[in-house]
Amino acid sequence: MQVDAQPLETPGYLSSAFGLSVRLVQRVGQNDVPVGSTVTGKPPMQFQRVVTPGFYILEVRSLPGSPRGTFQMAATTKFTDRIGGGFQGE
């Protein structure tokens, strides 16, 4: 899975001051299991995680002291060599 995030221009707020914390978790039954470590910083952000087929959640939080703002995020997956058929999606 590849995750990309970047700030958008928001009137009254500097996009350079915008900070995010992004965590990927896999939902297993009623439990959320972290996949890798939390990524924290100022957008633009980009990171990848190798995952197995399943149900995943991207948790996004603004950092303390970060101004209100708007950002866009893309999460792209690709299982092209999966047994039983491939999958690509955003």
Q: Measured between alpha carbons, how far is residue 8 from residues 31, 40, 41, 43 in Å?
A: 33, 18, 15, 10
pLDDT at 82: 64
CA-CA distance, 43 to 88, in Å (whole number)? 25
pLDDT at 87 over 80: no
| CB contact set of 79 (below 8 Å; sequence gap of 6+) | 53, 86, 87, 88
Domains contained in the chain, number: 1
pLDDT at 84: 62
pTM for the model stands at 0.73
Q: Structural domain of residue 11, as residue ranges?
A: 2-89
Per residue in 13-68, pLDDT tens?
777 788 888 999 999 999 999 998 999 988 888 888 888 878 888 888 888 888 77
